[in-house]
Amino acid sequence: MNFYIHAPIIEDCRKGNKKAQFRLYDQYSRAMYNLAYRIMNNREDAEDILQEAFIDCFRNIGSFRFESTFGAWLKKIVVNKCINEIKKKKVDLMFCETLPHLAAEDYEEPVYDTTEIFKGIEKLPDGYRIILTLYLLEGYDHAEISQILGITESTSKSQYSRAKDKLKSILSKKPIYGQS
């Protein structure tokens, strides 16, 4: 992976160059906004997080040491801001163990459609939605998710599996678990 792909722009950002800052913003804002939206499930909160994350990013860009890609570094800022906001709001992520795993015969696999999946993810309970987002859409592994959320790796794995089952059940034409 080329960690240095944005090195000249990042160097310009370190010097406070506005044009360079907005080039990075234009390149990453959409992905970061959608990430924040999927975690917060609220567009206003996602906008606030996006703004704060980029301000922090430009303020602390001197501490970016090219040990990861710039995108991964920025994503970490966004995720941490979201998690802090969720903690501030005292949202109970409820990592529940009550749902049984979905058996193949319980599930009628639909023809998948991104709009339906998108809406399905929005309907997931907070804890499920966040783990599914971090693992499946953002590419974090369970060890990283366990650190981010302060849970064990095995909880992350089991919750991801249940989140996926729940999403399947929402998407399925055959209702399971009582869809809400």
Partner 1 sequence: MDNLEEYIMKHREEMDRYKPSPSIRKRIGRILKSRKNSAYRWISVAAMIAVILGSAVLFLKPGTQLFRKSIGGNGSNTSHQAGLQLKETEIYYNSLANSLYIEASPMLAKNPEIKKELTMDLSQIDSICGEIKKDLRDNVANREVVEALIQNYRIKIKILEDMINVLRENEGNTEKRKSHEL
- Interface residues with partner 1 (CB under 8 A) are 16, 18-19, 21-22, 25-26, 29-31, 33-34, 37, 43, 46-47, 50-51, 54-55, 58-59, 109, 112, 114, 117-118, 136-137, 164, 167-168, 171
Minimum CB separation from partner 1 for residue 89, in Å? Answer: 21
Return the number of the residue (1 or 104) whose C-beta is nearest partner 1: 104
Return the number of the residue (6 or 168) whose C-beta is nearest partner 1: 168
Minimum CB separation from partner 1 for residue 150, in Å? Answer: 25
Distances (CA, A) of 19 to 2, 15, 16, 60, 117: 23, 11, 9, 17, 37
Minimum CB separation from partner 1 for residue 110, in Å? Answer: 10
Cα three-residue angle 161-86-38, rounded to 5 degrees: 55
d(CA 135, CA 143): 10
Give the phi and the psi of residue 76 in degrees, each rounded to 5. -60, -40
Minimum CB separation from partner 1 for residue 124, in Å? Answer: 13
Distances (CA, A) of 165 to 103, 110, 161, 169, 172: 9, 13, 6, 6, 10
Return the number of the residue (51 or 152) whose C-beta is nearest partner 1: 51
Return the number of the residue (26 or 67) whose C-beta is nearest partner 1: 26
Residue 9: both structure tokens together: 């722009």
